[in-house]
Structure 1
Amino acid sequence: MRIFYGVQGTGNGHITRARVMAKELQLAGIEVTFQFTGRPIDKFFDMEVFNGYQIRTGLTFNTHKGQVSYLKTALDAKPLTFLKDIKTLDLSGYDHILTDFEPVTAWAAKRQKKPVLGIGHQYAFNYPIPRAGADPIANQVMKYFAPADIGVGLHWHHFGEMILPPIIETPETPTRIIKNKIIVYLPFEDQAAVINLLAGFTDFEFHLYAPEVVASPYPHITCNPLSRTGFQKDLYDCGGIISNAGFELASEALQLGKKILVKPLHSQMEQISNAAALKELGYGHTMKTMDKAVIEPWLHDNHATHITYPNVAKVLVQWLQDGMPKMDADFVEKVWDGVNVIKLDLSKA
């Protein structure tokens, strides 16, 4: 079996999910060609698991101070390059075409009349899940950005729909938690402003990760470059995370039993909806702006949710090998039977 797998490179969530899928596909002996789009080639890191991969320009969303800018996105788009990439991508030698919200792969497959399997959080929006912040542009982007013939949607809860749990690593539960250690991942925010906002909380130890490192003058705030290994090490024993409302990091935090505070990107329907879902499910806290009045009580809150998710990547790889039979209610229910939700009291950790 040969698979072509397109992965959206804006942010790190899609790539994190693809890393988990790559390991299971390799264990199954399936030959995979990965393609990544949405960021410059020098901005990718820790990509060894993909054993060689293709890079194309694709499409991405531009942000400024924590808000998606549709105008800047449109101005910076390279439509001729995008169309050329679609026309020149040859998918004739592959048995299956997969996309994790990656548009070049999706549209090239459409052009070549090859079925597309979409795997990712965005495909959960084909169902009536918690939504917020929608507008006509956002709705069209979700529908047409990377269309799939079959969409396997992922979410923290099934909401009574044909949705699967997140695709994430399944590490052992941490045996030691440093309650005052907080991971901060706000790559779309002004990092100097984030540092200044956290400066007064000297009883806590903040570990910031960002694409561009800004020096911190405060001993309790450490700034780090993006590193999958370093980030995972800090995430493992921290007490909580402050982040934008991306799906994959929140999934990892829930799997490790970390308390969560998210600040969704403005004008980004997916992130605003993620924040709404976290709040509705009681899995995390939200804030609309970088607000000390929200951060301070959250820092002292000792409640978190620990969710054990099954190895969904392994389930999907086996499903692919079985010929992709229609996912019925029994199939989905069996996967969710492997999910366990526990409310934690961090004061006893």
Structure 2
Amino acid sequence: MKILYGVQGTGNGHLTRARAMQKALLAQGIEVDWVFSGRPREEYFGMEVFGDYQCFQGLSFSIKAGQVDPIKTVSQASFTKLLKDVQALKPEQYDLVISDFEPVVAWAAKVKKVSCIGLGHQYAFLHDIPKTKNAFASYAIMKWFAPVSEAIGVHWHHFNQPILPPIIEQQSFSTINDPSSKVALVYLPFESTTEVIKTLNKLPFRFIVHARDIDCGFYGNVHVKGFSVTGFKDSLQACDSVICNAGFELASECIHLGKRLLVKPLAGQVEQLSNAEALKTLGWGDVTDHIDAKSICYFLTTAKATQVRYPDVPKLLASWIKQYPRVELRDIVEMAWSEVDINSQLESTSSPKGVMEWGR
């Protein structure tokens, strides 16, 4: 079996999902041609696992000072280049086409009338899940951005919808959390690291910051590190708390590992605002609109964690893909949620328990 798999490369979360899927697909003997878009090729890292992948400009959001810049987003979009890239792909030559919110592969399949499976967090928003209010136009754009013929969404909880748990590479982490660790990991790639450090220096805590806009080294109580797949995983394993934007994948790993979580959603980014709503609904993380000393201090002195042990979703999906379309998606959805284990260290009555209850 040979598949074409497109991945939105604007954020590192999609790449983390792709690495987990590549390992699982390889174990099933499935050959994959990978396509990435959303950032220049030289800005990717840790890509060896994907072999001879293709890289396109695609479409992406422009971020300025921690929020989406809609004018720059539109002005930088090259629809002529997108059309050219779409025409260059040959999705009809594959047994299956998959898009993780990647527009070039999704549109190539649509234009050439080839079925395309959408696999990723964004497709969960097609269902009745917690969402930010008054953003109907944005949800319509999400449908248009990378259209697919069959959508498989993933989220932290099922919300009684036919979606899957997060795609996490199980072998990457020990799920034993060290409560004695008193260091917080800070990952805010859309903020000015210099300004973030000024805020962190006001606090009596230790921090690890991963960033690319400042030299690595020690800045008072802040240890700045660069970007690498293994280096970031080591930092995540070593910390007891994480402060980050409200992207999906890192928050998923934090919940899986039982880390205390404080998120600051990007202003104007519907997915992140909705993720923040979901975290508040579940009671599995704290949310702030601003990165300031008061918010961080309150979080680090009061927050507790909830650990949710998720099953090996990549393995389940790879097995399903190999048998597609002979096995119903519903079968692996029910199987996946039956294996979820919630260990509520945060004694929150709002944390949903149990397995998928269809029809409720």
TM interval, shorter chain, is over 0.9
SS at 2:240 equivalent? strand
| Pair 18,12 (structure 1): closer, same or farther in 2 beyond 3 Å | same
How do residues 239-278 of structure 1 correspond to structure 2 at under 5 angstroms? Answer: 239-278=240-279
RMSD of aligned C-alpha atoms? 1.5
Match of 1:310 in 2: 311
* Greater Cα shift, 217-226 or 308-317: 217-226
Question: For the Cα contact (< 8 Å) 2:177–2:258, is it kept in 1?
Answer: no
Question: For the Cα contact (< 8 Å) 2:59–2:103, is it kept in 1?
Answer: yes
| Cα drift, residue 218 of structure 1 | 2.8
Match of 1:207 in 2: 208
TM-score by length of 2: 0.92
* Greater Cα shift, 105-114 or 136-145: 136-145
Question: For the Cα contact (< 8 Å) 2:116–2:150, is it kept in 1?
Answer: yes
Partner AA of 1:87 in structure 2:
Q
| Cα drift, residue 332 of structure 1 | 1.9
SS at 1:230 equivalent? helix
Question: For the Cα contact (< 8 Å) 1:245–1:264, is it kept in 2?
Answer: yes
> Is 2:45 the counterpart of 1:66?
no
Partner AA of 2:269 in structure 1:
Q
Partner AA of 1:153 in structure 2:
G
Question: For the Cα contact (< 8 Å) 1:133–1:268, is it kept in 2?
Answer: no
Provide, for residues 302-342 of structure 1, a one-character-per-residue CA deviation record: whole Å limited to 9, x for no partner.
Answer: 510111100111111111122233323x5422210110011
| Cα drift, residue 133 of structure 1 | 5.0
Provide, for residues 166-197 of structure 1, a one-character-per-residue CA deviation record: whole Å limited to 9, x for no partner.
Answer: 00122322363453211000000111111111
Question: For the Cα contact (< 8 Å) 1:212–1:225, is it kept in 2?
Answer: no
Provide, for residues 101-132 of structure 1, a one-character-per-residue CA deviation record: whole Å limited to 9, x for no partner.
Answer: 00000000111110000000000001010001
Question: For the Cα contact (< 8 Å) 1:118–1:152, is it kept in 2?
Answer: yes
Match of 2:117 in 1: 117
SS at 1:300 equivalent? helix
Match of 1:7 in 2: 7
Match of 1:145 in 2: 145
CA distance in 2, matches of 1:48, 1:262: 30
- For structure 2, the 5+ residue unaligned runs are 347-360
Match of 2:39 in 1: 39
> Is 2:202 the counterpart of 1:196?
no
| Cα drift, residue 240 of structure 1 | 0.7
Which segments of structure 1 move beyond 4 Å, counting only runs of 4 or more? 214-217
| Cα drift, residue 212 of structure 1 | 2.0
Partner AA of 1:285 in structure 2:
D
CA distance in 2, matches of 1:89, 1:57: 14
| Cα drift, residue 219 of structure 1 | 2.5
- For structure 1, the 5+ residue unaligned runs are none
| Cα drift, residue 295 of structure 1 | 1.2
| Cα drift, residue 216 of structure 1 | 6.6
Provide, for residues 44-86 of structure 1, a one-character-per-residue CA deviation record: whole Å limited to 9, x for no partner.
Answer: 0001111221101101100001100110001111111111001
* Greater Cα shift, 64-73 or 213-222: 213-222
Identity rate, percent: 45
CA distance in 1, matches of 2:298, 2:94: 52
| Pair 88,152 (structure 1): closer, same or farther in 2 beyond 3 Å | same
SS at 2:42 equivalent? helix
Provide, for residues 182-236 of structure 1, a one-character-per-residue CA deviation record: whole Å limited to 9, x for no partner.
Answer: 100000011111111111113x211111232256773210111111111100100
Question: For the Cα contact (< 8 Å) 1:133–1:267, is it kept in 2?
Answer: no
| Cα drift, residue 137 of structure 1 | 3.7
Partner AA of 2:100 in structure 1:
D
Match of 1:340 in 2: 341
CA distance in 1, matches of 2:317, 2:15: 17
CA distance in 2, matches of 1:307, 1:320: 25
CA distance in 1, matches of 2:167, 2:266: 22
Partner AA of 2:193 in structure 1:
Q
CA distance in 1, matches of 2:312, 2:218: 42
SS at 2:23 equivalent? helix
Match of 2:19 in 1: 19
Partner AA of 1:4 in structure 2:
L
CA distance in 1, matches of 2:183, 2:332: 39
CA distance in 2, matches of 1:76, 1:273: 25
SS at 2:63 equivalent? coil
SS at 1:179 equivalent? coil
CA distance in 2, matches of 1:214, 1:189: 15
Question: For the Cα contact (< 8 Å) 1:195–1:216, is it kept in 2?
Answer: no
TM-score by length of 1: 0.95
CA distance in 2, matches of 1:259, 1:302: 7
Question: For the Cα contact (< 8 Å) 1:100–1:118, is it kept in 2?
Answer: yes
Match of 2:350 in 1: none
